[in-house]
Amino acid sequence: MLTSRKKTVTVPQRLPKLAEEERIEQERMRDVFVLLEHLLEREETTVKLIVDRLYDVGAVNLINKKFPAQPRKRRVMKSLARMLKPAVKVYALRWVKRNCPRLVTNWLQRKVRF
């Protein structure tokens, strides 16, 4: 409520409603985050397969990019990539479980804001 020299003016009470909407939005996004965490835990086999396929494609593309005209080196690097695959998969899976829910939640939140 504001007072001027001539009369009293009432200000609409929108701030608490906006704060309440913000609180509800944060709560819903926290729910999305928890649901994504649970999804990754339940679907661990699917996540492993996705990481496996991404590693295969990424390793071949990287080797082809770095050694375009050297077939012998490419073969050696591809065999090395195959040997490193189990270790890389362990670290990649750990990274995905730790970071993916937050990244996806933030991305989805940006998509629903106008």
Nearest alpha carbon to residue 55 among 75, 99, 85: 85
- Output the pLDDT for position 66: 87
Tokens of 94: 């750990």
- Residues near 14 by beta carbon (within 8 Å), at least 6 away in sequence: none
Average pLDDT, stretch 61-80?
A: 87
pLDDT of residue 3 exceeding 60, the answer is no
Q: Where do the structural domains in the chain lie, given as residue ranges?
A: 26-112
Task: Measure the CA–CA gap between 88 and 59, rounded to whole angstroms.
Answer: 11
Nearest alpha carbon to residue 25 among 108, 104, 89, 98: 108
pLDDT in tens, 24-62: 999 999 999 999 999 999 999 999 999 999 999 999 999
CB 90 within 8 A of CB 51: no
- Average pLDDT value over all residues in the chain: 86
Average pLDDT, stretch 1-24?
A: 66
Higher-pLDDT residue of 7, 25: 25
pLDDT of residue 4 exceeding 90, the answer is no
pTM equals 0.70
